[in-house]
A and B are shown apart, each in its own frame.
Chain A
Amino acid sequence: MALWLLQLAGDVAQVAADAGVQAAQAAADAGTTAAQDAAQALPPPSSTPGQMVGRGRLVGGWEYVWASYIVTWTGIVLYALSLWVRRPKGEAPGTGGRS
Chain B
Amino acid sequence: MSGLLGQSLLVLRKDLLIEWRTRARLNALIFFAIATLLLFSFALGPDTVMMRKHAAGYLWLGLLFSSMLSLGESFRIESENLAMDGLKLIPVDPRAIFLGKTMGNTLLLWLLSLVLLPVTIALFDVTVTLGWPTLVGIFLVGSMAISAPGTVYAAIASHARARDVLLPLLLFPILIPALLAVVKATHLVFEGDLMDQLKSWMRLLGCFAIIYWTLGFLLFPKVLEDD
B207 located at the interface, meaning its Cβ lies under 8 Å from any Cβ of chain A in the complex: yes
Q: Which residue of B lies closest to A5 (CB)?
A: B211
A12 to B207, Cβ gap below 8 A? yes
Is the beta-carbon distance between A8 and B211 smaller than 8 angstroms?
A: yes
Is there an interface contact between A4 and B211, defined as CB atoms closer than 8 Å?
Answer: yes
Q: Are A20 and B211 in contact, CB atoms less than 8 angstroms apart? A: no
Please state if A15 and B200 are interface contacts (CB–CB under 8 Å).
Answer: yes
**In the assembled complex, which residues on chain A have CB atoms less than 8 Å from the CB atom of B214?**
4
Residues A19 and B200 in contact, CB atoms below 8 Å apart? yes
B207 and A18: CB pair below 8 A? no
B195-A18 in contact (CB<8A):
no
Q: A1-42, CB under 8 A of B: which get 1 and which 0?
A: 000100010011011101111000000000000000000000
Q: Are A20 and B199 in contact (CB under 8 A)?
A: no
Question: Does B203 touch A at the CB level, under 8 Å?
Answer: yes
Q: Does more than half of chain A's interface fall in helix, strand or loop, or is it mixed?
A: helix
Number of chain A interface residues as a range? 10 to 19
Interface size class of B (residues with CB under 8 A): 10 to 19
Dominant secondary structure at the B interface: helix
Partner of B197, one of A4, A8, A12, A19: A19
| CB proximity of A3 to chain B, nearest CB, Å | 9
A18–B211 CA distance with the chains assembled, in angstroms: 21
CB proximity to A under 8 Å, residues B192-207: 195-197, 199-200, 203-204, 207
Q: Nearest-CB distance from A35 to chain B (Å)?
A: 26
How far apart sit A41 and B107, CA to CA, in the bound complex (Å)?
50
Chain B: CB-nearest residue to A11:
B207
Cα A11 to Cα B200 in complex, Å, equals 10
Shortest distance from the beta carbon of B173 to any chain A beta carbon, whole Å: 18
Query: From residue 175 to 227 of chain B, which have CB atoms closer than 8 A to chain A?
Result: 195-197, 199-200, 203-204, 207, 210-211, 214-215
Give min CB distance, A2 to chain B, whole Å: 12
Q: Which residues of chain A are near B210, meaning CB under 8 Å?
A: 4
A20 touches B203 (CB 8 A): no
**Which A residues are in CB contact (< 8 Å) with B196?**
20
Instruction: Please report the C-alpha to C-alpha distance between residue A20 and residue B211 in the assembled complex, in whole angstroms.
Output: 24
With both beta carbons as reference points, the residue of chain A lying nearest to B206 in the complex is identified as A11
Q: How far is the CB of A17 from chain B (nearest CB, A)?
A: 9
CB distance from A78 to the nearest CB of B (A): 24
Q: State whether A15 and B204 are in contact (beta carbons under 8 Å apart), knowing that A4-B214, A8-B211 are contacts in the complex.
A: yes
What are 14 residue pairs bridging A and B, where the CB atoms are less than 8 Å apart in the complex? A4-B210, A4-B211, A4-B214, A4-B215, A8-B211, A11-B207, A14-B203, A15-B199, A15-B200, A18-B203, A19-B197, A19-B199, A20-B197, A21-B200
Q: Is the CB of A8 within 8 A of B207?
A: yes
Return the contact of A11 from the options B195, B197, B203, B215 (Cβ within 8 A).
B203
